[in-house]
Amino acid sequence: MTAVAFIGLGVMGAPMAQNLVKAGFDVIGHNRSPARTDTLVASGGRRADSVADAVRDADVIVTMLPDSPDVEAVVLGEGGALETARHGALLVDASTVRPETSRAVAAAAEARGVRALDAPVSGGEAGAVEGTLSIMVGGDEEVYESALPVLRAMGSTVVHVGPAGAGQTVKAANQLIVAGTIELVSEALVFLDSHGVDLGAAVSVLAGGLAGNAVLQRKAPAMLARDFTPGFRIDLHHKDLGIVLAAVREAGVALPLGTHVAGLVASLRAQGGGSLDHSALLLQVESLSGRDNELRSRPV
């Protein structure tokens, strides 16, 4: 049985690790908050008290962490994954981080005889639970092929997109598209509501036409119910759009709409909306339209 160390059992990581257990892998989980491992243990996984304990005998190491500094600490730091991983182990970083972080991890892994891939995911909490994530993978193609059994246990769309860091570049583009789409769906809903249209009916017909998209299907019902319980927090999308803007500056290309949406996300976060789901951009549009000036009193 392939042993998989899974580091980071948050909203996304916990169900991803559970799907690996369901697929027959021996999963050893570790999380900074130990209580997070309880669900994994209940589903048949094992608990590790440290990163070193988790990865020491693992064939595959999967990390699902919030940001670049977390990956650098857990993977590259003292007592981290690379310091303890056995020669020939496979490291799969499913976090969303800067492309240069993934390239640095890949170089450090190679120096220690560990194969590394950056494999960020898209699909939200629902995709993680259902095992239907879209996984964009950067790294050596042969290493990618060897990782497919693990990746396919967590996602239904798994694609190799280029060398180290390429997965993160594609994920940045994904986050740009998602943020822009949420913003436009929010604007459409406020526009429709201002004309007294039946919003449920409008969403239904729009979803069936050329305007149909995953945001309308997955997010609009909760937006109409004004339920912004976080599946993916504004704080995290703000971080991801920061990655986009940094990469854009490096490439020297223009993102006129994307830059504006990033500003709207930053504004919502500054107003106290960071812990809300990213679909709460609807509240920002309402506020800008003079239809809601009590954003801070909105329940999470």
Residues with catalytic function:
171
**Angle between helices 234-251 and 166-194 in degrees, nearest 10:** 120
In the numeric block, the tokens 């120096």 are attached to 111
In the numeric block, the tokens 């937006």 are attached to 223
In whole angstroms, give the CA distance from residue 258 to residue 206: 23
Pairing between β-strand 121-122 and β-strand 133-138 as defined by DSSP bridges: antiparallel
Pairing between β-strand 46-47 and β-strand 26-30 as defined by DSSP bridges: parallel
The tokens for 104 are 């640095």
Please provide residue 275's backbone torsions phi and psi, each rounded to the nearest 5 degrees: -90, -5
